[in-house]
Amino acid sequence: MPTRIAVVTGASSGIGAATARRLDAAGFHVVAVARRAEKLDALVAELKTASSFVADVTSDASVAALAEHLESLDGEVELLVNNAGGAIGAETVEDADLADWQWMFDVNVLGTIRVTKALLPLLDRSGRGTIVIMSSTAGFVVYEGGGGYTAAKHAETAVAETLRLELSGRPIRVVEICPGMVRTDEFALKRYEGDAEKAAAVYAGVAEPLVAEDIAECVTWTATLPHHVNIDRLVVRPLAQAAQHKVHRVFE
Ligand code: 8X3
């Protein structure tokens, strides 16, 4: 049986790194993709059969080089996890910093499209491709101060749904995963531009926010089901988060 290759973007930390670990354990050869080489190297060193490729999903040249690299590997690219993404800023629309909005669109939306376009021929060739799009509950609800991120994630959701329609009849399923509150090392810190206090407040009083491994488990489940089973969208929240604005917090 040919080596089953899984490509994970944004693999240097958080959900991406956890997903790379989990897919490695599930028997894929993981190609971990991100911009930060040292973090990728450290990750790959702990895995069984993984390798890394330094790439920036916002760069055409970088993603073309990734596709070329994958072509040269011995194996079938069966799985693409479009995980690279993130949020910056919590301003209202009125006070929006357009550079932040631009970044969020570039990484979350255009990054996903760029990598997907580049890898579609390989996924097709495998005969049993899966594209996972890491969206968010922000892909279908909005909240004050989240305009740039929710707009980008809504767009990502639209891309996932469009892609599923357009790929109908081809051997590629499209899975959208929408996590709610997940505590990772970087997500909230990046959103609040390094303000650790604001980042910590996101999870304050929440006994058990989701962790990256929870989402990695979801990715692995959807990607290892029999190939005719397509989980269109998985919405995953911690028990304490009944809805975007309904979070159970306990303060001593
Ligand atoms: C993360 C979920 O609530 O910060 O994608 O938008 S939220």
Q: What is the pTM of this model?
A: 0.98
Q: Which atom of ligand 1 is nearest to the CA of 143?
A: 6
Residue 7 has pLDDT above 90, yes or no: yes
Ligand 1 in contact with 138 (CB < 6 A)?
A: yes
Per-residue pLDDT, 2 = 83
Residue 223: predicted pLDDT: 98
Residue of 104, 136, 143, 233 with the most ligand 1 atoms within 8 Å of its CB, for mutation: 136
pLDDT, tens digit (0-9, with 9 covering 90-100), for 169-178: 999 999 999 9
For residues 252 and 249, what is the distance between their CA atoms, to the nearest angstrom?
A: 10
pLDDT score for 252: 79
**Is the CB–ligand 1 distance for residue 241 below 6 Å?**
no
Cβ of 180 closer than 6 Å to ligand 1, yes or no, is yes
Tokens found for residue 35: 């911009």
Answer whether 73's CB lies under 8 Å from 117's CB: no
pLDDT for 1: 78
* Two structure tokens written together for 107: 């990484």
* CB of 31 sitting under 6 A from ligand 1: no
Question: What CA–CA distances, in Å, run from 208 to 21, 59, 143, 195, 249?
Answer: 22, 37, 22, 22, 10
Nearest to 203 by CA among 188, 218, 223: 188
| Ligand 1 touching residue 137 (CB < 6 A) | yes
Which atom of ligand 1 sits closest to the CA of residue 135? 5
Q: Which atom of ligand 1 is nearest to the CA of 202?
A: 4
Assign 200 a pLDDT band (cuts: 50, 70, 90): very high
Taking a C-beta distance cutoff of 8 angstroms, is the pair 103, 36 a contact?
no
pLDDT, residue 164, reads 98
Q: How far apart are CA 86 and CA 164, in angstroms?
A: 23
Taking the centre of ligand 1 as the mean of its atom positions, its distance from the CA of residue 149, in whole angstroms, is 8
Query: According to the model, what pLDDT value does residue 244 have?
Result: 94
Identify the structural domains of the chain with CATH numbers, from first to last: 4-238 (3.40.50.720)
Q: What is the mean pLDDT of the chain?
A: 97
Percent of the chain with pLDDT over 90: 99
